A and B are shown apart, each in its own frame.
Chain A
Amino acid sequence: MAVLKWLRTLGITLPIVLAAFSARGADTVKLGLIEPFSGPIAAVGRDTLEIFEFFAHEVNQRGGVLGGRHIEIVPLDNAMNAEKTTQQLRKVIDDDIRFVSQGVGSNHALNIIKFLTRHNRRNPDQAILYLNHSAVTTSFTNELCSFWHFRFDANVDMKVAALVTQIGRDPSARKLYMLNQNYAYGQAFQAAAQRLLAERAPDAELVGDELIVPFGKVLDFTPYIAKIKASGADTVLTGNWGPDLVRFVKAAAEANLNVAFYTIYAGIPSSVAGIGAKDGIATRLKQVTEMHENDPLYDQQPADLLDTYERWRQQTGKSVYSERMRWTIEYFAAALDKAGSDDPALVAAAMEGMAMEGPAGPMAMRAADHQIIFPMVISTMTEDAGRPFIYDGEDYGVAFATDGWIMSDAIELPTTCEMKRP
Chain B
Amino acid sequence: MESIIFAMFNGVLYGMLLFLLASGLTLIFSMMGVLNFAHASFFMLGAYFAYQISEGLNFWAALFVAPVIVGLVGAGVERWGLRPVHRYGHVAELLFTFGVAYVIEELVQMIWGRVPVPYEIPELMSGALFTWQGFDYSIYRVFMLVVSVVIFVALFALLTYTRIGLIIRAAVSDPVHVATLGHDIPRIFMWTFGFGCALAGVAGVVGGNVLGTEPAMAIQLGPIVFVVIVIGGLGSLGGALVAALIIGVVTRLAIFYDYGLGSLFLSLGLEIDTAGLLRDFTRITTAQVAPVLPYLMLVLMLIFKPRGLFGTRDV
Chain A residues engaging chain B, CB cutoff 8 angstroms: 40-43, 46, 182, 210-213, 216-220, 222-227, 229-230, 243, 246-247, 250-251, 254-256, 269-270, 273-274, 276-278, 391-392, 396
Whether, in the assembled complex, B290 has its beta carbon less than 8 Å from a beta carbon of chain A, the answer is: yes
Given contacts A212-B291, A217-B220, 20 further A-B contacts (CB under 8 A): A42-B114, A43-B114, A211-B288, A212-B288, A216-B220, A217-B291, A217-B292, A218-B290, A218-B291, A223-B252, A226-B135, A227-B255, A229-B133, A254-B210, A269-B115, A270-B114, A273-B116, A273-B117, A274-B118, A274-B214
Chain B residues engaging chain A, CB cutoff 8 angstroms: 6-7, 10, 14, 105, 109, 113-118, 120-121, 126, 128, 133-138, 140-141, 210-212, 214-217, 219-221, 224, 252, 255-256, 287-292
Shortest CB–CB separation between residue A296 and chain B, in angstroms?
A: 29
> B113 and A255: CB pair below 8 A?
no
A45 and chain B: residue at smallest CB distance: B114
Interface of B is mostly: helix
Q: Which residues on B sit within 8 Å (CB–CB) of A216?
A: 216, 220
Could you list some 27 contacts between A and B, CB below 8 A?
A: A40-B109, A40-B215, A182-B288, A212-B288, A212-B291, A213-B292, A220-B210, A220-B211, A223-B255, A223-B256, A225-B135, A227-B255, A229-B134, A230-B133, A243-B217, A246-B212, A247-B211, A247-B212, A250-B210, A250-B212, A254-B210, A255-B138, A256-B136, A270-B115, A274-B212, A278-B120, A392-B113
A216 to B214, CA, bound (A): 11
Q: A213-B288, A273-B116 are in contact. Are A255 and B136 (CB under 8 A)?
A: yes
A220 and chain B: residue at smallest CB distance: B14
Q: Which residues on A sit within 8 Å (CB–CB) of B14?
A: 219-220, 222
Q: Which residues on B sit within 8 Å (CB–CB) of A224?
A: 255
A336 to B132, CA, bound (A): 63
> B216 and A243: CB pair below 8 A?
yes
Q: Which residues on B sit within 8 Å (CB–CB) of A210?
A: 287
> B289 and A213: CB pair below 8 A?
yes
Number of A-B contacts (CB under 8 A): 110
Q: Which 9 A-B pairs have the closest CB atoms?
A: A43-B114, A274-B116, A40-B216, A216-B220, A223-B255, A256-B136, A217-B291, A213-B291, A273-B115
Interface of A is mostly: helix
Q: A42-B114, A273-B116 are in contact. Are A243 and B214 (CB under 8 A)?
A: yes
Most buried by A among B118, B256, B288: B118
Q: Which residues on B sit within 8 Å (CB–CB) of A220?
A: 10, 14, 210-211
Specify which of B116, B140, B221, B289 is in contact with A219 (CB 8 Å cutoff).
B221
Most buried by A among B109, B211, B289, B292: B211
Shortest CB–CB separation between residue A406 and chain B, in angstroms?
A: 28
Q: Which residues on A sit within 8 Å (CB–CB) of B135?
A: 225-226, 229, 255
B290 and chain A: residue at smallest CB distance: A213
Q: Which residues on A sit within 8 Å (CB–CB) of B219?
A: 40
